[in-house]
Amino acid sequence: MSDEEEAEHDQDFEIVVNTKSHQIRNESVSYEQVVEFAYPGGLANPDFIFAVDYEKAKEPPHDGTLVAGQHVEVKRNGTEFSVIRSVRS
The enclosing domain of 36 has a CATH number of: 3.10.20
Q: 39 vs 30, 42, 79, 88, CA distance in Å?
A: 14, 5, 18, 16
pLDDT value at residue 89: 78
State the average pLDDT over residues 48-61: 95
Mean predicted confidence (pLDDT) in 34-63: 95
pLDDT by residue (tens digit) across 3-25?
555 544 557 999 999 999 999 99
Is the confidence at residue 1, as pLDDT, over 60? no
Instruction: State in Å, rounded, how far the first CA of the chain is from the last one.
Output: 49
Q: Which range marks the domain in which residue 47 is found?
A: 3-87
Which residues make Cβ contacts (< 8 Å) with residue 14, sequence separation at least 6?
A: 21, 22, 23, 24, 76, 77, 78
Q: What percent of the chain has pLDDT over 70?
A: 88
